[in-house]
Structure 1
């Protein structure tokens, strides 16, 4: 049942085998045996893709609930005496992770030597369930989803530009003036939206410019080179602000801090390892104020 659920979630025998630490042949044979026992086709196999039948979808839904109950029952017993152990697959944003997570993860693993961490640094929004992650660190507003979210920290969002850019283009005195400025935006959309606090209210301002990227360090470096204005978390621009390679603009309109969350699928709530690492992150960031 667990092999079948993993295969459907991963949409691949190979990916499911990797997640479970089994061979592809073993996974395929076990699902074939399950189908034979049930007397029903659950998966339609082809060279290009794996398709789940209607009966397979119904079985997957029930099986997932059963496995969650099994996990919860086991955790109820083992959490009384057991220490976290096993594999933790974690996704986190590149810059935040390199600056803040390295020492934290190392300390967690020292405390729990039977834990193995598989960490992927990526600024894209990963599909936790589809790609088999146990949890992820995310920054900023969260999209509506079925994921469980826990706030672990808050960071200031700072709008800044290089002194050279401001000499050439002038310093904006209000958020509305950004329409006439080159703005370096995060994400794929040609126009971005930046948030400011104007007269006690949160206002969104449309911005655009010569560069967009899904990595804050790239945008910071472009801003230091004089290509435009950026709006980034302070952990990305703090060093550049300290030595005046960047200077803050529109500081009196600075919005509220953005939140850092740890998120995980609902079926991982009962995992002792997920709970322990989530608690550890909250404890560390609460202590450091990061």
Structure 2
């Protein structure tokens, strides 16, 4: 396959048309059209649907673009790094991160990384869904307790656990009465929490009196004394140390793990490697207390 023709195809696909691609690259439109036509002939595939006003990738063209675009970018960056005599992180770095981690830590992390690596153009999106890294063009994703995926590799960089906390003014009901509780979202219909506390394991009956959309909102409502809450230790560690919240016990559940993942079939670029190292520098031990301290800085 002609790599130059493939690069021209990716250029046209990325800009959505021959005219826009030609203007962006400063090259003749006719040359790009000819090179794409030659690639289609070599592959015996139609890569674009050419309408009167619009150019649209065919199914085969989209598959080729998704699978080759990142590889071509990495080849260009590798060649540039070699030519400049080093492997300095540069170029665009797209990251997807979960909502809570983004709200409490990602802004500070992104700013620190941008100051340390000014040639990297960092783009971070926030969403809790499991994005398709290759199809959606992400270089790195941060996920909470991801399911095993043979196409991804990575490492745990933070660990956390769920605890039950409440205002010191809220007393635990006796005789199996339900405690007022603040929960996250209408989907949380828990009737009890299994908790391990100072006196051993117990079952805390709950009455969800308030349902909120984010864990930060839940924490703030718990601070106000509305009810008990089930929250990550990292989010309430300063309150526990200050005595503004009381620890009722740990939720009987697997620990929370935050992973940094990237596609296993992709070369680990200098910018991804640099961000992984930056995470390790920020959280060398990966404990909930470490994350809490980082947030409070």
Residue in 2 aligned with 1:170? Answer: 173
Residue in 2 aligned with 1:275? Answer: 273
Count of residues in Structure 1 that have an aligned counterpart in Structure 2: 266
CA 1:269–1:260 in 2, change beyond 3 Å: closer, same or farther?
farther
Secondary structure of 1:142 counterpart: coil
Counterparts of 1:1-290 in structure 2 under 5 Å? 1=6, 16-17=14-15, 25-26=20-21, 34=36, 37-39=39-41, 40-43=45-48, 52-53=58-59, 55-56=60-61, 59=64, 63=68, 67=72, 70=75, 74=79, 81-97=86-102, 99-120=104-125, 122-125=126-129, 127=131, 128-139=133-144, 141-145=145-149, 146-164=151-169, 166-167=170-171, 170=173, 180-186=178-184, 189-191=187-189, 209-251=208-250, 257-286=255-284, 289-290=290-291
Question: In terms of mean alpha carbon deviation, does 78-87 or 142-151 score higher?
Answer: 78-87
RMSD over equivalenced CA pairs, Å: 4.9
Residue in 1 aligned with 2:295? Answer: none
Deviations 1:238-264 (A, max 9, x none): 23333444321124x665642222122
Return the TM-score normalized by structure 2: 0.64
Secondary structure of 1:239 counterpart: helix
Question: Per-residue deviation at 1:38?
Answer: 0.9
Runs of at least 5 residues in structure 1 that lack an aligned partner in the other structure: 8-12
CA 1:31–1:23 in 2, change beyond 3 Å: closer, same or farther?
closer
CA 1:259–1:190 in 2, change beyond 3 Å: closer, same or farther?
closer
Question: Per-residue deviation at 1:68?
Answer: 8.7
CA 1:4–1:244 in 2, change beyond 3 Å: closer, same or farther?
farther
- For residues 209 and 267 of structure 2, what CA distance do their matches in structure 1 show? 43
Secondary structure of 1:108 counterpart: helix
Return the TM-score normalized by structure 1: 0.65
Question: Per-residue deviation at 1:84?
Answer: 0.6
Question: Per-residue deviation at 1:51?
Answer: 7.1
Runs of at least 5 residues in structure 2 that lack an aligned partner in the other structure: 1-5, 23-28, 292-297
- For residues 270 and 249 of structure 1, what CA distance do their matches in structure 2 show? 44
- For residues 43 and 163 of structure 1, what CA distance do their matches in structure 2 show? 65
Q: Is the 8 A contact 1:68 1:267 kept in 2?
A: no
- For residues 129 and 105 of structure 1, what CA distance do their matches in structure 2 show? 22
Deviations 1:30-56 (A, max 9, x none): 689635641433355899xx6743x44
Question: Per-residue deviation at 1:82?
Answer: 1.9
Question: Per-residue deviation at 1:116?
Answer: 2.2
